Structure 1
Amino acid sequence: MRIPKIYIPFLFFSCVALGIVIGGLVNYPIPAKVTKQEYRSKLNRLLNFIENEYVDEVKTDSIVDVTVTGILANLDPHSVYVTPQEQTLLADNMRGDFVGIGINFYTYNDSIAVIKPIPGGPAEKAGIQAGDRILYAGKKPLFGKKLKSESLYNTLRGEPLSKIQLTVYRKKTRKTFTTQVIRDVIPLKSVEVALLLDGNTGYIKIERFAETTGEEFHEALLQLKKKGMRALIIDVRENGGGVMESAIAIADELLPENDLIVFTKNKKGAVEKMYATEEGLFESGKVTVLIDENSASASEILAGAIQDNDRGQIVGRRSFGKGLVQREMNFDDGSAVRLTVARYFTPSGRSIQKPYKKGESEAYHGEYEHRYESGELTQPQKVKVADSLKFKTKKGRTVYGGGGIVPDVFVPLESAVGEENVAYVLKTGIVGHFVFEQLDNNRNRFAGWTFEQFQKNYETTADFLPEFEKYMEKSGVQMQWEKSKSLVQRYVKAEFARQLFGDTAYYKIILQEDPMLKKAGVVRIR
C-alpha cells in the first residue's frame, strides 16, 4: 500500500532545466571559455532577441521566470523562485498577520462557504455567520466554476479600514442580505493553542515559525505558569519551519544563559553562533518536544538545541532533515528568490541536512514515501543513522547527523499496521470539508450545546463514520481503515468541536489517546 501523494510539502514551481530554454534557440557554438559577464550578456541578448524578433507575441516575463527557476533547480531543493502571488501569501504567513475581512472559508459547490468567522474580526462584527455564502463583493460575483483563488484573495483583502459591501446568502433562513465589512488587520496565530493537559503539564502547539511566534510563545508560557505548569510539552509535528530567529527566541526561553542554541557557516567559513541569554521564562522543569517526519527547519533548530544541551527529551519520529539557511532577494514585480546562503548546525556540531541530488526536488520533498516503504515510520530499528556522523551532547550522549533529528523516544505512526496511510489522510483538509457539509445540512443538530455537553453526548447521539466513508469514496480516496476506526472517529469528533467551539476544543479531543503524549508521561487530559 502506497501513501497518496497529497501530503508532499508544497513546491513553488516544477524545475525546468535552463538548457531547454536556450538550447534550441541559439545556433552558435559556445566558446571553450566563457566569463560570467559574457553569460549575463548572452541571457540579456537572447531575451531582447525574442522580444523584438520572435514570430508570435510572447511574454518575456514568463521566460525569465522559467529561466530563473531552471537556474535555481541546479543548486539545491530550497533555493527557489517565488511568484508575486505566492510571495504575498508567504509574506503574510511569515509576518503573522494580513488585512482582510476575517473568515475561514472554502469553495463549496462553486461558492464561498464560510466555515467560521474569526472571533472579534470584521466579518463577525458585520453579522456574518458559519455556513453563510458570500455571493457578491459590491457588484462583483464571487461564485461560479471559473472562480480563481488569486482573484478571490485580492477582492477580500485590502487596506486597513477600507470598506467592502458583501451580498450574503444564509442557508438556514434561506434569505439573502447585504452587509458592509470594514477590513482590518487579522492576526495569523502561529501558536495555535496553549493549555494545561493535567494538573501541572503545559502543552503548546506551534503551527509554524513566524515573526510573531516568539512573542506568542512567551505569552503562552506566562499564562501556563500562572496556572501552575511545572512540565512543558512543545508540539512541532507537521511544522515545516519558518523564521529561524523565532526558533532561537523559543529555545532561549528554555535554556540557561550562555548555552549554545545554533550556529551557521557560509561558504567562506564565516561562523555565527547564537547563545541563550538570561531572559528565559522556563529554564528549569521538564521539557519534551514532539516531532515527526514533517517537522523541518526551525522546528529542527529548536529540537536540536534541546537535545544537544540535554535540556529535555525529543519524542516522535525522525524529522525532515533541512539544515540550509535561505536569504531572500525581492524583485520590483513582487516576486522573490530565496537562495541558500549557509548551513546551520546544532550545538554539538552536527548538520542534520539530509542528502539531495541537484535537480531532483520532487524526490527530495517526497522522501517520506521511502521512509514509509522502508518501515522506518513504524519500526525504530529501521531508522538508519550514519555511524561516521556521531556527535556528543553536553552530557556525553551520542546523537547523529546527516538527515534529521532522531528522537530520544520513538513513537510509530498512530494508524494500525497495514493502514498507515490513514494518519496522513486525516491530516488533510478532507475531514474539515466533510464536517462543514454535515453541519451545513443540519446546523440545529448541536444548537445550544456547550462544549461539555458536546463531549458528553457526542458518541450517543452521532455516528458519522458511515457518512464519512461514503464521502471519502465520493471524493475518490480509497482507504482501508477497519483497524483504525477509533482514530478516524477521534479526528471527525475533534473537527466538529473545532468548527463549533474553536481550536482549544479541537485539541482537547484530538490529544486524547495521543501515543506521543503517553510516551511523554501524560496519563489523562482534563
Structure 2
Amino acid sequence: MLRVSSRQVNRRFLATKSGHRSYVIIESYLRSRLKPRMLKNFPIIAIVVIVVGAVVGGVFGHRSDAAAEQGGVTNEMITKQLREADKVIIDNYAGKIALEDLTEGSIQGMLWTLDPHSSFFNRRELKKLDEEQSSQFYGIGVSIFQHRDGVYVQSVVPGTPAEKAGLRYGDKFMTVEGKDATEWTASEVSKNVRGERGTPVKLTVERVGVKDPVAFEIIRGGVPLPSIRNYFMLPNGTGYIALTGGFQQTTADELTEAINDLKKQGMKNLILDLRNNPGGILEQAVEVASKFIPGGQTIVSVKTGRLGQKRDLPAIGGDVETMPLVVMINGGSASASEIVAGAIQDYDRGVIVGSDSFGKGLVQRIFRLPYGTGLTLTTARYYTPFGRSLQRDYSSGSIYDYYTHLADAEDSEGHAVPKPEGVPVKTANGRILYGGRGIEPDVRVDPIADPQKKAKVNEEAFFFVRQLVAGKIPGFETYKNDKQSFVNVVRPGDFAVSDKLFDAFVKFSLADKESHLSTAAMDEVAAYARSRIREELATANYSSEAGFQVLMENDPQVAKAIESMPEASKLVDTAGLFGQR
C-alpha cells in the first residue's frame, strides 16, 4: 500500500450523497458514519458537535472583538485555542479519554459547520472508501440481512471464500472472532468480517438441522462490488437494468455489457433504475449519461471555488443508444444519480419515474491526511445542463433534519411543509423545471409503504423458506437444497407457489408465536405472501439477483415505468437530439 503525505491530494471528484456513502438516508447514514455505541447516543454526539462549535464560536468568540480590531482570527490563534482546549480536556476530564475519538469528533464537528457532506475518515473508513471506488473489497463474500433475531446469510457470492468454505443461505451469525454476534446489526457483522486480504476470520453460524453451531475459519479475499446488481427482460421488449450499487470505476463498462446482452435478448426499450443509488465517481456519471446523449452536449456543469468558476463536462461521444428510455429515481438517488437523471430530463431524452431524489449537488474531493486518515471537502457545486442546482437547502443547520427529510414532510401541526420555491429553468422543449429541489420525476409514483402485516410476512417468508430448503417442512422434503446455483434470471414458471405449499406457509406462520399474524391477516395479504415466498425460493436456490428480479416484477413503480414507455418513445422523436427519425 502506498504511503501518501498530507500534501498529496486525490483529485477525483466524489458525487455521492454523503461524499462517500451508499445507504438509506438517515439510519444507514448514521450507522455508517457513527460507531454503534455512538449511534445509540445520538443526542450525545449532537452535544459533541455543539461543543466543538462552542470551542470555535464560543472560545474564539470571547476574543472576537479584539481579534476583529487586529484584523480577525488567524490560523495561529485557532491552532493555539485547539491545543489549549485539548490540554484542558486531557488534564481535567473525570473519565477515560479515547484520544482518537476525540480528534475524530473535533474534526467532523468543524466540517459539519461548513455543510452536511464534508466528512472526516478514520483509517478504517478511508480504506473502505478506497475499496468501494475500486469496485472490490476484501472479506468473505456474502450478502447478509438483519432479521428480527439476528443477522443471516441471504446469499453467497460465487467464487468467493464464503462459497468455497460452504456458507449457505439461512445461516445465522453466532460469533465472529470469538465475540458474540447474536445481537449485532448487519453493519457490525460486516465491519468485523471485513479485513486485510489473506487474513483469516473465525466465525460460527447456526444452521437448520444441525444441533451445534458450525465453525468456519475463512481466509479473506477479494469480493466484487459491482454497480449493476442485475439486469433482465420484462414484457414488450423492455429491458431492465438495476444500476443501484453506486458509480464506481467499472460502472460505464458494466452498463455497456448489460445493454449489449439485453439487445441480444430483443430489447427495444430500456428502464434504467437509479433508485437508492447514492452516487460515486463524477467521471463515471458523465460516461453513463453519454450512453444516451450525443457527444458534445453538456452533461453537467461544475462551479468550483469561492468565485464560482464554471466548467462544463460534455458527453464523451461514441455510440449512443437511441431507444426509448425511462429512468427511475427515489429519495435514495443522490448526486451522480441525479447528474444522470438531470441530464436525461433537461434534454427530454427520457421519462423520469418515481419520487423526488435526495437533492445533493455539492462536490467533494478526497484529501489524504497523515496516519492513514483523510477527509472529503466540498470544493464545487453541480448544475444540470440547463443550469438547475441539484442541491437541496441545508441552511437550518440540522444534520438530522437534512438526512431525514421527506418530500411530503409535515410540520408539528400536521401541515405539509412547502418545497423551496426553486429557480425556474426552461428546457429546449419549453418545459419549466426547478433548481434547488433535487430531481423531481415527470411521473410521480411514490412507493407503497409496507404496512405492518406485510413486514411480518417478509419475516415469515424468510424463516419458512429457511426451513423449507433445509428439508424440514413435512411433505415438502423435495425442496431441500444445500447450495445456490448462482443463476441470475428467473423464468416465468420457476418457483411457482402451489396452493399446497401456501397452505403449509400459513400453517407455519400461525404456529410461529413471533409472527403475530392471524388467519384474517394472512387472507388479506395472500397475493403478497405468495410473491414473497417465490422471491425467497429464487434467492435460496438461485441467487440474490434472481430474488431481486421476482421483487421487481411485482413493483408498482416498475409497472408505471413500463406504462410510461410510449411517452418515452415520443420524446426520442421530439427532443431533437438525434435529428430526423
Verify the 8 A CA contact 1:96 1:188 in the aligned structure 2.
yes
Kindly tell me: are residues 406 and 109 of structure 1, through their superposed partners in 2, closer, same or farther at Cα, counting changes over 3 Å? closer
Counterpart residue type for residue 279 of structure 1: G
Paired with 1:474 and 1:397, the residues of 2 have a C-alpha distance of 50
Q: What do the CA deviations read for 1:315-368 (whole angstroms, capped 9, x no partner)?
A: 122222111111222333444322221110000111021212253111111111
Verify the 8 A CA contact 2:502 2:530 in the aligned structure 1.
no
The aligned residue for residue 15 of structure 2 is none
Q: What do the CA deviations read for 1:242-286 (whole angstroms, capped 9, x no partner)?
A: 222222111111111111100110222211211112224x42111
The aligned residue for residue 30 of structure 1 is 63
Kindly tell me: are residues 82 and 495 of structure 1, through their superposed partners in 2, closer, same or farther at Cα, counting changes over 3 Å? farther
Verify the 8 A CA contact 2:496 2:534 in the aligned structure 1.
no
Paired with 2:287 and 2:453, the residues of 1 have a C-alpha distance of 31
Paired with 1:425 and 1:212, the residues of 2 have a C-alpha distance of 36
Paired with 1:259 and 1:30, the residues of 2 have a C-alpha distance of 52
Kindly tell me: are residues 350 and 172 of structure 1, through their superposed partners in 2, closer, same or farther at Cα, counting changes over 3 Å? same
The aligned residue for residue 519 of structure 1 is 560
Residue 17 of structure 1, aligned match among 20, 25, 50:
50
Q: What do the CA deviations read for 1:398-417 (whole angstroms, capped 9, x no partner)?
A: 2221202121222233x3xx
The aligned residue for residue 189 of structure 1 is 226
Kindly tell me: are residues 276 and 372 of structure 1, through their superposed partners in 2, closer, same or farther at Cα, counting changes over 3 Å? same
Verify the 8 A CA contact 2:154 2:544 in the aligned structure 1.
no
Kindly tell me: are residues 143 and 412 of structure 1, through their superposed partners in 2, closer, same or farther at Cα, counting changes over 3 Å? closer
The aligned residue for residue 80 of structure 1 is 119
Residue 463 of structure 2, aligned match among 437, 449, 455:
437
Counterpart residue type for residue 501 of structure 2: T
Paired with 2:445 and 2:353, the residues of 1 have a C-alpha distance of 7
Q: Which has the higher contact order (CA 8 A, sep 6+)?
A: 2
Residue 457 of structure 1, aligned match among 473, 492, 497:
497
Residue 434 of structure 2, aligned match among 393, 400, 403:
400
Residue 79 of structure 2, aligned match among 40, 43, 60:
40
Of stretches 239-248 and 508-517 in structure 1, the one that deviates more from structure 2 is: 508-517
Q: How many residues of Structure 1 are paired with residues of Structure 2 in the alignment?
A: 498
Matched, 1:67 2:106: yes
The aligned residue for residue 20 of structure 2 is none
Kindly tell me: are residues 97 and 25 of structure 1, through their superposed partners in 2, closer, same or farther at Cα, counting changes over 3 Å? same
Kindly tell me: are residues 481 and 75 of structure 1, through their superposed partners in 2, closer, same or farther at Cα, counting changes over 3 Å? farther
1:193 to partner: Cα distance: 0.7
Q: Matched residue of 2:291: which SS?
A: helix
Paired with 1:399 and 1:30, the residues of 2 have a C-alpha distance of 47
Q: Matched residue of 1:242: which SS?
A: strand
Paired with 2:513 and 2:116, the residues of 1 have a C-alpha distance of 33
Q: What do the CA deviations read for 1:282-322 (whole angstroms, capped 9, x no partner)?
A: 42111110112222211111100111122111112222211
Counterpart residue type for residue 30 of structure 1: R
Q: Matched residue of 2:352: which SS?
A: strand
Paired with 2:171 and 2:230, the residues of 1 have a C-alpha distance of 26
Paired with 1:8 and 1:154, the residues of 2 have a C-alpha distance of 16
The aligned residue for residue 139 of structure 2 is 100
Paired with 1:405 and 1:521, the residues of 2 have a C-alpha distance of 20
TM-score normalised by structure 1 residue count: 0.80
Verify the 8 A CA contact 1:84 1:333 in the aligned structure 2.
yes
TM-score normalised by structure 2 residue count: 0.73
Kindly tell me: are residues 481 and 397 of structure 1, through their superposed partners in 2, closer, same or farther at Cα, counting changes over 3 Å? farther
Q: What do the CA deviations read for 1:371-402 (whole angstroms, capped 9, x no partner)?
A: 1548xxxxxxx996666622122333222212
Q: Matched residue of 1:58: which SS?
A: coil
Counterpart residue type for residue 35 of structure 1: V
Paired with 1:317 and 1:123, the residues of 2 have a C-alpha distance of 37
Of stretches 86-95 and 167-176 in structure 1, the one that deviates more from structure 2 is: 167-176
Paired with 1:194 and 1:135, the residues of 2 have a C-alpha distance of 34
1:175 to partner: Cα distance: 6.1
Report 1:354-433 matches (<5 A).
354-368=392-406, 371-373=408-410, 389-413=423-447, 415=448, 420=449, 422=451
The aligned residue for residue 254 of structure 1 is 292
Specify every segment of 5 or more residues in structure 1 that has no aligned partner in the other structure, as ranges: 375-381
Kindly tell me: are residues 171 and 195 of structure 1, through their superposed partners in 2, closer, same or farther at Cα, counting changes over 3 Å? same
Counterpart residue type for residue 293 of structure 2: L
Verify the 8 A CA contact 1:142 1:152 in the aligned structure 2.
no
Paired with 2:113 and 2:260, the residues of 1 have a C-alpha distance of 46
Report 1:285-324 matches (<5 A).
285-324=323-362
Kindly tell me: are residues 303 and 424 of structure 1, through their superposed partners in 2, closer, same or farther at Cα, counting changes over 3 Å? farther
The aligned residue for residue 447 of structure 1 is 480
1:224 to partner: Cα distance: 1.3
* Aligned sequence identity (%): 30
